[in-house]
Structure 1
Protein backbone atom coordinates (compact mmCIF):
# COMPACT_ATOMS: atom_id res chain seq x y z
CA UNK A 1 0.00 0.00 0.00
CA UNK A 2 1.16 3.54 -0.74
CA UNK A 3 2.64 5.52 2.14
CA UNK A 4 0.19 8.01 3.68
CA UNK A 5 1.98 11.18 4.78
CA UNK A 6 -0.19 13.97 3.36
CA UNK A 7 -3.41 13.39 5.31
CA UNK A 8 -3.80 16.64 7.26
CA UNK A 9 -6.02 19.40 5.87
CA UNK A 10 -3.48 22.09 6.82
CA UNK A 11 -0.74 20.18 5.03
CA UNK A 12 -2.95 19.74 1.96
CA UNK A 13 -3.58 23.50 1.84
CA UNK A 14 0.16 24.25 2.11
CA UNK A 15 0.85 21.66 -0.58
CA UNK A 16 -1.66 23.26 -2.94
CA UNK A 17 -0.30 26.76 -2.36
CA UNK A 18 3.44 26.23 -2.46
CA UNK A 19 4.31 23.16 -4.52
CA UNK A 20 5.79 23.77 -7.97
CA UNK A 21 3.45 22.59 -10.75
CA UNK A 22 5.04 20.49 -13.52
CA UNK A 23 7.07 22.70 -15.83
CA UNK A 24 6.11 23.34 -19.48
CA UNK A 25 9.38 21.64 -20.47
CA UNK A 26 8.30 18.47 -18.67
CA UNK A 27 4.86 18.57 -20.27
CA UNK A 28 6.42 18.95 -23.72
CA UNK A 29 8.53 15.86 -23.09
CA UNK A 30 5.52 13.83 -21.92
CA UNK A 31 3.18 14.81 -24.74
CA UNK A 32 5.85 14.45 -27.42
CA UNK A 33 6.47 10.91 -26.17
CA UNK A 34 2.75 10.10 -26.13
CA UNK A 35 2.31 11.49 -29.64
CA UNK A 36 5.25 9.45 -30.89
CA UNK A 37 4.03 6.20 -29.34
CA UNK A 38 0.28 6.39 -29.86
CA UNK A 39 -1.00 9.53 -31.52
CA UNK A 40 -4.37 11.23 -31.15
CA UNK A 41 -7.20 11.03 -30.26
CA UNK A 42 -6.68 10.60 -26.53
CA UNK A 43 -9.55 9.33 -24.40
CA UNK A 44 -8.58 8.68 -20.77
CA UNK A 45 -5.73 10.09 -18.67
CA UNK A 46 -5.25 9.06 -15.04
CA UNK A 47 -3.16 11.20 -12.71
CA UNK A 48 -2.15 8.97 -9.80
CA UNK A 49 -1.17 10.55 -6.49
CA UNK A 50 -2.69 13.75 -7.84
CA UNK A 51 -2.57 15.61 -4.53
CA UNK A 52 -4.49 18.88 -4.79
CA UNK A 53 -4.87 18.57 -8.57
CA UNK A 54 -2.08 20.87 -9.80
CA UNK A 55 -0.77 18.27 -12.24
CA UNK A 56 -4.23 16.91 -13.12
CA UNK A 57 -5.35 20.26 -14.50
CA UNK A 58 -2.52 20.25 -17.04
CA UNK A 59 -3.99 17.13 -18.66
CA UNK A 60 -7.49 18.57 -19.07
CA UNK A 61 -7.15 20.18 -22.55
CA UNK A 62 -5.73 17.02 -24.12
CA UNK A 63 -8.12 14.22 -23.09
CA UNK A 64 -11.80 13.38 -23.35
CA UNK A 65 -11.73 12.14 -19.74
CA UNK A 66 -9.33 12.92 -16.90
CA UNK A 67 -9.29 11.16 -13.54
CA UNK A 68 -7.21 12.25 -10.56
CA UNK A 69 -6.68 9.74 -7.75
CA UNK A 70 -4.96 10.02 -4.39
CA UNK A 71 -4.85 8.00 -1.20
CA UNK A 72 -5.35 11.16 0.87
CA UNK A 73 -8.92 12.32 1.45
CA UNK A 74 -7.65 15.76 2.48
CA UNK A 75 -5.79 16.18 -0.80
CA UNK A 76 -8.79 15.09 -2.87
CA UNK A 77 -11.04 17.47 -0.93
CA UNK A 78 -8.59 20.26 -1.76
CA UNK A 79 -8.65 19.30 -5.46
CA UNK A 80 -12.47 19.23 -5.56
CA UNK A 81 -12.70 22.78 -4.19
CA UNK A 82 -11.58 24.11 -7.56
CA UNK A 83 -14.43 24.03 -10.13
CA UNK A 84 -13.62 21.52 -12.87
CA UNK A 85 -15.02 20.79 -16.33
CA UNK A 86 -17.51 17.94 -16.54
CA UNK A 87 -14.95 15.53 -18.01
CA UNK A 88 -12.67 15.79 -14.93
CA UNK A 89 -13.20 13.77 -11.76
CA UNK A 90 -11.33 12.97 -8.55
CA UNK A 91 -11.54 10.03 -6.17
CA UNK A 92 -9.74 8.51 -3.19
CA UNK A 93 -7.98 5.32 -4.32
CA UNK A 94 -4.56 3.76 -3.79
CA UNK A 95 -2.13 3.70 -6.70
CA UNK A 96 -2.02 -0.10 -6.55
CA UNK A 97 -5.78 -0.58 -7.13
CA UNK A 98 -7.14 2.00 -9.57
CA UNK A 99 -10.88 2.33 -10.35
CA UNK A 100 -10.54 1.90 -14.12
CA UNK A 101 -11.13 -0.97 -16.53
CA UNK A 102 -8.43 -3.18 -17.96
CA UNK A 103 -6.67 -1.68 -20.99
CA UNK A 104 -8.54 1.63 -20.80
CA UNK A 105 -5.87 4.29 -20.10
CA UNK A 106 -4.06 6.27 -22.80
CA UNK A 107 -1.72 8.06 -20.39
CA UNK A 108 -1.00 7.43 -16.73
CA UNK A 109 0.96 10.10 -14.91
CA UNK A 110 2.31 10.53 -11.40
CA UNK A 111 4.08 13.75 -10.49
CA UNK A 112 6.14 13.94 -7.29
CA UNK A 113 4.24 10.86 -6.11
CA UNK A 114 5.55 7.55 -7.52
CA UNK A 115 8.27 7.23 -4.88
CA UNK A 116 5.51 6.83 -2.28
CA UNK A 117 3.85 3.90 -4.07
CA UNK A 118 4.31 0.21 -3.31
CA UNK A 119 6.25 -0.09 -6.53
CA UNK A 120 5.93 -3.74 -7.55
CA UNK A 121 2.12 -3.94 -7.08
CA UNK A 122 1.84 -0.57 -8.80
CA UNK A 123 3.77 -1.88 -11.81
CA UNK A 124 1.34 -4.82 -12.07
CA UNK A 125 -1.56 -2.36 -11.94
CA UNK A 126 0.14 -0.29 -14.63
CA UNK A 127 0.26 -3.33 -16.91
CA UNK A 128 -3.43 -3.93 -16.27
CA UNK A 129 -4.83 -0.46 -16.93
CA UNK A 130 -2.77 0.83 -19.88
CA UNK A 131 -4.05 0.41 -23.41
CA UNK A 132 -1.74 -1.27 -25.90
CA UNK A 133 0.30 1.68 -27.10
CA UNK A 134 -0.57 3.64 -23.96
CA UNK A 135 2.16 5.50 -22.11
CA UNK A 136 3.20 6.20 -18.55
CA UNK A 137 5.11 9.16 -17.13
CA UNK A 138 6.46 8.98 -13.58
CA UNK A 139 8.22 12.23 -12.77
CA UNK A 140 9.33 14.50 -9.95
CA UNK A 141 11.60 17.38 -9.17
CA UNK A 142 14.56 16.46 -7.01
CA UNK A 143 15.94 18.51 -4.15
CA UNK A 144 18.94 19.38 -6.29
CA UNK A 145 17.89 23.02 -6.57
CA UNK A 146 20.04 26.06 -7.20
CA UNK A 147 19.09 29.48 -5.83
CA UNK A 148 20.09 32.63 -7.69
CA UNK A 149 20.11 36.17 -6.35
CA UNK A 150 22.70 38.79 -7.26
CA UNK A 151 26.25 37.93 -6.25
CA UNK A 152 25.25 35.57 -3.42
CA UNK A 153 23.81 32.73 -5.51
CA UNK A 154 26.39 30.14 -4.47
CA UNK A 155 26.01 31.05 -0.78
CA UNK A 156 22.22 30.69 -1.03
CA UNK A 157 22.50 27.35 -2.84
CA UNK A 158 24.85 26.09 -0.13
CA UNK A 159 22.44 27.32 2.55
CA UNK A 160 19.64 25.40 0.86
CA UNK A 161 21.80 22.25 0.78
CA UNK A 162 22.45 22.66 4.51
CA UNK A 163 18.71 23.00 5.09
CA UNK A 164 18.07 19.79 3.16
CA UNK A 165 20.70 17.95 5.19
CA UNK A 166 18.82 18.77 8.39
CA UNK A 167 15.45 17.78 6.95
CA UNK A 168 16.77 14.51 5.51
CA UNK A 169 17.30 13.30 9.07
CA UNK A 170 13.50 13.14 9.26
CA UNK A 171 12.96 11.54 5.83
CA UNK A 172 10.72 8.51 5.39
CA UNK A 173 12.61 5.49 4.05
CA UNK A 174 10.54 5.59 0.83
CA UNK A 175 12.35 8.76 -0.19
CA UNK A 176 15.42 6.73 -1.10
CA UNK A 177 13.63 6.11 -4.42
CA UNK A 178 13.66 9.85 -5.08
CA UNK A 179 17.18 10.39 -3.75
CA UNK A 180 18.42 7.70 -6.18
CA UNK A 181 16.75 9.55 -9.07
CA UNK A 182 14.06 6.92 -9.77
CA UNK A 183 16.58 4.23 -10.74
CA UNK A 184 14.49 1.58 -8.96
CA UNK A 185 11.37 2.71 -10.81
CA UNK A 186 13.19 2.49 -14.14
CA UNK A 187 14.56 -0.97 -13.31
CA UNK A 188 11.14 -2.35 -12.30
CA UNK A 189 9.18 -0.82 -15.20
CA UNK A 190 7.64 -3.88 -16.92
CA UNK A 191 7.80 -2.55 -20.48
CA UNK A 192 10.99 -2.85 -22.58
CA UNK A 193 10.28 0.48 -24.30
CA UNK A 194 11.36 2.76 -21.44
CA UNK A 195 13.78 5.57 -20.64
CA UNK A 196 14.73 8.03 -17.93
CA UNK A 197 15.39 11.72 -18.56
CA UNK A 198 17.05 14.09 -16.07
CA UNK A 199 17.08 17.79 -16.92
CA UNK A 200 17.03 21.26 -15.38
CA UNK A 201 14.67 24.19 -15.85
CA UNK A 202 14.49 27.70 -14.41
CA UNK A 203 11.64 28.93 -12.20
CA UNK A 204 11.58 32.70 -11.76
CA UNK A 205 8.35 33.61 -9.96
CA UNK A 206 9.27 32.67 -6.42
CA UNK A 207 10.04 34.52 -3.19
CA UNK A 208 11.86 33.80 0.07
CA UNK A 209 8.46 33.35 1.76
CA UNK A 210 7.39 31.02 -1.04
CA UNK A 211 10.54 28.96 -0.59
CA UNK A 212 9.80 28.64 3.13
CA UNK A 213 6.27 27.52 2.22
CA UNK A 214 7.72 24.90 -0.11
CA UNK A 215 9.91 23.59 2.73
CA UNK A 216 6.81 23.33 4.94
CA UNK A 217 5.07 21.26 2.26
CA UNK A 218 7.79 18.59 2.31
CA UNK A 219 7.00 15.38 4.16
CA UNK A 220 10.40 15.63 5.85
CA UNK A 221 9.47 18.94 7.45
CA UNK A 222 6.03 17.66 8.45
CA UNK A 223 7.58 14.65 10.18
CA UNK A 224 10.05 16.98 11.93
CA UNK A 225 7.13 19.19 12.98
CA UNK A 226 5.07 16.26 14.27
CA UNK A 227 7.99 15.00 16.36
CA UNK A 228 9.35 18.36 17.54
CA UNK A 229 6.91 21.19 16.75
CA UNK A 230 8.80 23.99 18.50
CA UNK A 231 12.16 22.95 17.08
CA UNK A 232 10.72 22.68 13.56
CA UNK A 233 9.17 26.15 13.73
CA UNK A 234 12.39 27.63 15.10
CA UNK A 235 14.37 25.95 12.34
CA UNK A 236 12.06 27.41 9.68
CA UNK A 237 12.33 30.91 11.12
CA UNK A 238 16.10 30.60 11.42
CA UNK A 239 16.34 29.43 7.80
CA UNK A 240 14.32 32.40 6.56
CA UNK A 241 16.47 34.79 8.61
CA UNK A 242 19.65 33.28 7.19
CA UNK A 243 18.34 33.70 3.64
CA UNK A 244 17.42 37.33 4.22
CA UNK A 245 20.73 38.10 5.93
CA UNK A 246 22.71 36.48 3.11
CA UNK A 247 20.73 38.47 0.53
CA UNK A 248 21.06 41.68 2.62
CA UNK A 249 17.31 42.34 2.40
CA UNK A 250 14.52 42.51 4.97
CA UNK A 251 11.38 41.47 3.08
CA UNK A 252 10.41 37.78 2.76
CA UNK A 253 8.59 38.81 -0.43
CA UNK A 254 11.93 39.46 -2.15
CA UNK A 255 11.94 37.45 -5.42
CA UNK A 256 14.43 34.69 -6.15
CA UNK A 257 15.32 32.67 -9.21
CA UNK A 258 15.35 28.92 -8.72
CA UNK A 259 16.75 26.20 -10.99
CA UNK A 260 14.86 22.93 -10.60
CA UNK A 261 16.08 19.48 -11.58
CA UNK A 262 13.48 17.03 -12.90
CA UNK A 263 13.47 13.25 -13.30
CA UNK A 264 11.05 11.64 -15.74
CA UNK A 265 10.67 7.91 -16.38
CA UNK A 266 8.72 7.30 -19.59
CA UNK A 267 7.49 3.96 -20.91
CA UNK A 268 5.07 2.58 -23.48
CA UNK A 269 3.02 -0.61 -23.35
CA UNK A 270 3.92 -2.01 -26.75
CA UNK A 271 0.98 -3.55 -28.63
CA UNK A 272 1.30 -7.31 -28.99
CA UNK A 273 2.24 -8.38 -32.46
CA UNK A 274 -0.54 -10.00 -34.46
CA UNK A 275 -0.05 -13.70 -34.93
CA UNK A 276 -0.32 -14.84 -38.55
CA UNK A 277 -3.06 -17.35 -39.26
Structure 2
Protein backbone atom coordinates (compact mmCIF):
# COMPACT_ATOMS: atom_id res chain seq x y z
CA UNK A 1 0.00 0.00 0.00
CA UNK A 2 1.04 3.63 -0.49
CA UNK A 3 3.44 4.95 2.13
CA UNK A 4 1.59 7.72 3.96
CA UNK A 5 3.88 10.66 4.68
CA UNK A 6 1.78 13.77 4.06
CA UNK A 7 -1.24 13.20 6.30
CA UNK A 8 -1.34 16.12 8.76
CA UNK A 9 -3.26 19.31 7.97
CA UNK A 10 -0.26 21.42 8.92
CA UNK A 11 2.06 19.55 6.56
CA UNK A 12 -0.56 19.59 3.81
CA UNK A 13 -0.91 23.37 4.16
CA UNK A 14 2.86 23.89 3.90
CA UNK A 15 2.92 21.52 0.91
CA UNK A 16 0.15 23.44 -0.84
CA UNK A 17 1.88 26.78 -0.23
CA UNK A 18 5.43 25.88 -1.23
CA UNK A 19 5.39 22.94 -3.65
CA UNK A 20 5.79 24.07 -7.24
CA UNK A 21 3.89 23.00 -10.34
CA UNK A 22 5.60 21.05 -13.15
CA UNK A 23 8.04 23.29 -15.02
CA UNK A 24 7.92 24.30 -18.67
CA UNK A 25 10.37 21.69 -19.96
CA UNK A 26 8.73 18.83 -18.08
CA UNK A 27 5.29 19.82 -19.32
CA UNK A 28 6.57 20.06 -22.89
CA UNK A 29 8.24 16.63 -22.62
CA UNK A 30 4.94 15.07 -21.54
CA UNK A 31 2.77 16.92 -24.06
CA UNK A 32 5.11 16.14 -26.95
CA UNK A 33 4.98 12.44 -26.08
CA UNK A 34 1.18 12.45 -25.81
CA UNK A 35 0.91 14.21 -29.17
CA UNK A 36 3.32 11.73 -30.75
CA UNK A 37 1.19 8.84 -29.46
CA UNK A 38 -2.03 10.64 -30.47
CA UNK A 39 -3.21 10.46 -26.86
CA UNK A 40 -4.51 14.06 -26.95
CA UNK A 41 -7.10 15.40 -27.28
CA UNK A 42 -8.67 12.96 -24.84
CA UNK A 43 -11.60 12.60 -22.49
CA UNK A 44 -10.17 11.56 -19.13
CA UNK A 45 -6.84 12.12 -17.40
CA UNK A 46 -6.17 10.83 -13.89
CA UNK A 47 -3.41 12.30 -11.71
CA UNK A 48 -2.44 9.76 -9.04
CA UNK A 49 -0.86 10.94 -5.80
CA UNK A 50 -1.90 14.47 -6.73
CA UNK A 51 -1.17 16.02 -3.32
CA UNK A 52 -2.63 19.51 -3.26
CA UNK A 53 -3.07 19.58 -7.04
CA UNK A 54 -0.02 21.33 -8.50
CA UNK A 55 0.30 18.89 -11.42
CA UNK A 56 -3.44 18.34 -11.74
CA UNK A 57 -3.99 21.98 -12.69
CA UNK A 58 -1.62 21.57 -15.65
CA UNK A 59 -3.67 18.63 -16.93
CA UNK A 60 -6.87 20.66 -16.67
CA UNK A 61 -5.67 22.81 -19.56
CA UNK A 62 -5.45 19.84 -21.94
CA UNK A 63 -8.17 17.31 -21.08
CA UNK A 64 -11.95 17.38 -21.02
CA UNK A 65 -12.09 15.78 -17.56
CA UNK A 66 -9.32 15.50 -14.97
CA UNK A 67 -9.48 13.63 -11.66
CA UNK A 68 -6.78 14.00 -9.03
CA UNK A 69 -6.47 11.19 -6.48
CA UNK A 70 -4.51 10.96 -3.24
CA UNK A 71 -4.55 8.75 -0.16
CA UNK A 72 -4.31 11.80 2.13
CA UNK A 73 -7.60 13.44 3.05
CA UNK A 74 -5.71 16.53 4.22
CA UNK A 75 -3.97 16.91 0.85
CA UNK A 76 -7.23 16.44 -1.07
CA UNK A 77 -8.92 19.04 1.12
CA UNK A 78 -6.12 21.50 0.31
CA UNK A 79 -6.61 20.72 -3.39
CA UNK A 80 -10.37 21.26 -3.16
CA UNK A 81 -9.85 24.54 -1.30
CA UNK A 82 -7.61 25.88 -4.09
CA UNK A 83 -9.36 27.55 -7.06
CA UNK A 84 -9.16 25.41 -10.19
CA UNK A 85 -10.80 24.84 -13.56
CA UNK A 86 -14.35 23.41 -13.51
CA UNK A 87 -13.26 20.22 -15.32
CA UNK A 88 -11.03 19.17 -12.38
CA UNK A 89 -12.26 17.08 -9.44
CA UNK A 90 -10.57 15.20 -6.60
CA UNK A 91 -10.99 11.85 -4.84
CA UNK A 92 -9.44 10.25 -1.76
CA UNK A 93 -8.19 6.75 -2.60
CA UNK A 94 -4.99 4.65 -2.60
CA UNK A 95 -2.90 4.62 -5.77
CA UNK A 96 -3.27 0.85 -5.78
CA UNK A 97 -7.09 0.91 -5.72
CA UNK A 98 -8.33 3.40 -8.30
CA UNK A 99 -12.13 3.82 -8.57
CA UNK A 100 -12.24 3.70 -12.37
CA UNK A 101 -13.61 1.08 -14.72
CA UNK A 102 -11.35 -1.18 -16.76
CA UNK A 103 -9.86 0.55 -19.83
CA UNK A 104 -11.53 3.89 -19.02
CA UNK A 105 -8.58 6.27 -18.58
CA UNK A 106 -6.89 7.96 -21.55
CA UNK A 107 -3.86 9.34 -19.70
CA UNK A 108 -2.60 8.50 -16.22
CA UNK A 109 0.01 10.70 -14.57
CA UNK A 110 1.89 10.93 -11.31
CA UNK A 111 4.07 13.90 -10.36
CA UNK A 112 6.70 13.34 -7.66
CA UNK A 113 4.60 10.68 -5.95
CA UNK A 114 5.11 7.22 -7.51
CA UNK A 115 8.07 6.39 -5.26
CA UNK A 116 5.62 6.33 -2.33
CA UNK A 117 3.37 3.71 -3.97
CA UNK A 118 3.47 -0.06 -3.78
CA UNK A 119 5.03 -0.14 -7.24
CA UNK A 120 3.88 -3.61 -8.30
CA UNK A 121 0.27 -3.13 -7.21
CA UNK A 122 0.13 0.39 -8.68
CA UNK A 123 1.41 -0.78 -12.06
CA UNK A 124 -1.15 -3.59 -12.19
CA UNK A 125 -3.90 -1.13 -11.34
CA UNK A 126 -2.65 1.35 -13.94
CA UNK A 127 -2.60 -1.40 -16.55
CA UNK A 128 -6.20 -2.22 -15.65
CA UNK A 129 -7.62 1.31 -15.95
CA UNK A 130 -5.63 2.70 -18.91
CA UNK A 131 -7.26 2.24 -22.32
CA UNK A 132 -5.48 0.46 -25.16
CA UNK A 133 -3.60 3.27 -26.89
CA UNK A 134 -3.65 5.29 -23.66
CA UNK A 135 -0.53 6.67 -22.01
CA UNK A 136 1.22 7.03 -18.67
CA UNK A 137 3.59 9.81 -17.58
CA UNK A 138 5.33 9.34 -14.23
CA UNK A 139 7.80 12.01 -13.19
CA UNK A 140 9.75 13.32 -10.24
CA UNK A 141 12.16 16.09 -9.56
CA UNK A 142 15.46 14.85 -8.21
CA UNK A 143 17.79 16.07 -5.46
CA UNK A 144 19.90 17.61 -8.26
CA UNK A 145 19.00 21.25 -7.51
CA UNK A 146 20.85 24.57 -7.66
CA UNK A 147 20.24 28.26 -7.04
CA UNK A 148 21.26 31.21 -9.20
CA UNK A 149 21.46 34.83 -8.17
CA UNK A 150 23.85 37.37 -9.64
CA UNK A 151 27.50 36.44 -9.20
CA UNK A 152 27.00 34.44 -5.99
CA UNK A 153 25.22 31.41 -7.49
CA UNK A 154 27.92 28.92 -6.51
CA UNK A 155 28.07 30.12 -2.89
CA UNK A 156 24.28 30.27 -2.68
CA UNK A 157 23.93 26.71 -3.96
CA UNK A 158 26.52 25.58 -1.41
CA UNK A 159 24.45 27.09 1.43
CA UNK A 160 21.32 25.39 0.08
CA UNK A 161 23.05 22.04 -0.38
CA UNK A 162 24.51 22.05 3.13
CA UNK A 163 21.02 22.48 4.55
CA UNK A 164 19.47 19.96 2.17
CA UNK A 165 22.11 17.36 3.01
CA UNK A 166 21.26 17.68 6.70
CA UNK A 167 17.56 17.22 5.93
CA UNK A 168 18.17 14.22 3.67
CA UNK A 169 19.68 12.33 6.60
CA UNK A 170 16.07 11.84 7.67
CA UNK A 171 14.80 10.68 4.29
CA UNK A 172 12.64 7.57 3.92
CA UNK A 173 14.26 4.56 2.25
CA UNK A 174 11.87 5.04 -0.68
CA UNK A 175 14.04 7.95 -1.78
CA UNK A 176 16.11 5.20 -3.42
CA UNK A 177 13.66 5.25 -6.34
CA UNK A 178 14.43 8.93 -6.91
CA UNK A 179 18.18 8.49 -6.46
CA UNK A 180 18.24 5.82 -9.19
CA UNK A 181 16.34 8.15 -11.54
CA UNK A 182 13.15 6.04 -11.47
CA UNK A 183 14.97 3.13 -13.12
CA UNK A 184 13.01 0.53 -11.11
CA UNK A 185 9.74 2.33 -11.82
CA UNK A 186 10.58 2.40 -15.55
CA UNK A 187 11.32 -1.33 -15.53
CA UNK A 188 8.04 -2.02 -13.70
CA UNK A 189 5.93 -0.11 -16.25
CA UNK A 190 3.87 -2.88 -17.90
CA UNK A 191 3.98 -1.46 -21.45
CA UNK A 192 6.61 -2.48 -23.99
CA UNK A 193 6.39 0.93 -25.71
CA UNK A 194 8.11 3.07 -23.09
CA UNK A 195 11.03 5.40 -22.46
CA UNK A 196 12.75 7.23 -19.61
CA UNK A 197 14.05 10.81 -19.89
CA UNK A 198 16.51 11.75 -17.14
CA UNK A 199 17.83 15.16 -18.17
CA UNK A 200 14.89 17.57 -18.03
CA UNK A 201 16.02 20.85 -16.47
CA UNK A 202 13.56 23.50 -15.37
CA UNK A 203 13.95 26.94 -13.87
CA UNK A 204 11.29 27.41 -11.20
CA UNK A 205 10.49 31.03 -10.19
CA UNK A 206 11.15 31.26 -6.45
CA UNK A 207 11.92 33.62 -3.61
CA UNK A 208 14.25 33.01 -0.68
CA UNK A 209 11.17 32.27 1.43
CA UNK A 210 9.94 29.85 -1.24
CA UNK A 211 13.20 27.89 -1.28
CA UNK A 212 13.18 27.55 2.50
CA UNK A 213 9.47 26.67 2.40
CA UNK A 214 10.11 23.97 -0.19
CA UNK A 215 12.63 22.33 2.14
CA UNK A 216 10.14 22.60 5.01
CA UNK A 217 7.50 20.84 2.89
CA UNK A 218 9.65 17.75 2.32
CA UNK A 219 8.83 14.52 4.12
CA UNK A 220 12.46 14.32 5.25
CA UNK A 221 12.24 17.68 7.01
CA UNK A 222 8.94 16.75 8.64
CA UNK A 223 10.58 13.58 10.02
CA UNK A 224 13.54 15.68 11.24
CA UNK A 225 11.11 18.08 12.91
CA UNK A 226 9.31 15.27 14.75
CA UNK A 227 12.64 13.92 15.99
CA UNK A 228 14.20 17.24 16.99
CA UNK A 229 11.87 20.25 16.56
CA UNK A 230 14.35 22.79 17.90
CA UNK A 231 17.24 21.69 15.69
CA UNK A 232 15.02 21.45 12.59
CA UNK A 233 13.56 24.92 13.06
CA UNK A 234 16.99 26.37 13.82
CA UNK A 235 18.47 24.84 10.66
CA UNK A 236 15.93 26.54 8.37
CA UNK A 237 16.22 29.86 10.20
CA UNK A 238 20.00 29.80 9.96
CA UNK A 239 19.89 28.75 6.29
CA UNK A 240 17.53 31.61 5.42
CA UNK A 241 19.85 34.04 7.21
CA UNK A 242 22.91 32.67 5.37
CA UNK A 243 21.14 32.86 2.01
CA UNK A 244 20.22 36.52 2.54
CA UNK A 245 23.78 37.35 3.68
CA UNK A 246 25.28 35.56 0.67
CA UNK A 247 22.98 37.45 -1.70
CA UNK A 248 23.54 40.78 0.08
CA UNK A 249 19.82 41.42 0.50
CA UNK A 250 17.46 41.73 3.47
CA UNK A 251 14.08 40.65 2.08
CA UNK A 252 12.91 37.03 2.05
CA UNK A 253 10.75 37.99 -0.93
CA UNK A 254 13.85 38.53 -3.10
CA UNK A 255 13.47 36.45 -6.30
CA UNK A 256 15.98 33.69 -6.99
CA UNK A 257 16.30 31.14 -9.81
CA UNK A 258 15.66 27.62 -8.53
CA UNK A 259 16.88 24.99 -11.00
CA UNK A 260 15.70 21.40 -10.77
CA UNK A 261 16.32 18.25 -12.78
CA UNK A 262 13.30 16.10 -13.57
CA UNK A 263 13.10 12.45 -14.56
CA UNK A 264 10.10 11.28 -16.55
CA UNK A 265 8.94 7.76 -17.38
CA UNK A 266 6.60 7.59 -20.37
CA UNK A 267 4.67 4.67 -21.77
CA UNK A 268 1.89 3.85 -24.23
CA UNK A 269 -0.36 0.81 -23.83
CA UNK A 270 -0.57 -1.50 -26.83
CA UNK A 271 -3.86 -1.40 -28.77
State the TM-score, normalized to the length of structure 2: 0.96
Q: In 2, Cα distance between the equivalents of 1:108 and 1:148?
A: 34
* Residue 139 of structure 1: aligned partner: 139
* Residue 37 of structure 1: aligned partner: 37
Q: Is the 8 A contact 1:2 1:94 kept in 2?
A: yes
Give the gaps of 5 or more residues in structure 1.
272-277
Task: Spell out, residue by residue over 1:141-168, the C-alpha distance to the aligned partner (whole angstroms, 9 max, x if none).
Answer: 1121111112211111122222221111
Q: In 1, Cα distance between the equivalents of 2:193 and 2:250?
A: 51
Moved more, 77-86 or 211-220: 77-86
User: Do residues 229 (structure 1) and 206 (structure 2) align?
Assistant: no
Task: Spell out, residue by residue over 1:81-128, the C-alpha distance to the aligned partner (whole angstroms, 9 max, x if none).
Answer: 134444321110000110100001110000010111110111111110
* Residue 188 of structure 1: aligned partner: 188
User: Do residues 261 (structure 1) and 261 (structure 2) align?
Assistant: yes
Query: RMSD value over aligned CA atoms?
Result: 1.4
Q: In 2, Cα distance between the equivalents of 1:204 and 1:169?
A: 25
**Alpha-carbon offset, residue 245 of structure 1:** 1.9
Q: In 2, Cα distance between the equivalents of 1:25 and 1:178?
A: 19
Give the gaps of 5 or more residues in structure 2.
none
Moved more, 31-40 or 231-240: 31-40
User: Do residues 242 (structure 1) and 247 (structure 2) align?
Assistant: no
**1:1-277 correspondence runs (5 A):** 1-203=1-203, 205-271=205-271
Equivalent residues, number: 271
Q: Is the 8 A contact 1:140 1:262 kept in 2?
A: yes
Larger Rg: 1
Q: Is the 8 A contact 1:196 1:263 kept in 2?
A: yes
Closer/same/farther in 2, CA of residues 24 and 180 from structure 1, 3 Å limit: same
Q: In 1, Cα distance between the equivalents of 2:70 and 2:204?
A: 29
Q: In 2, Cα distance between the equivalents of 1:120 and 1:128?
A: 13
State the TM-score, normalized to the length of structure 1: 0.94
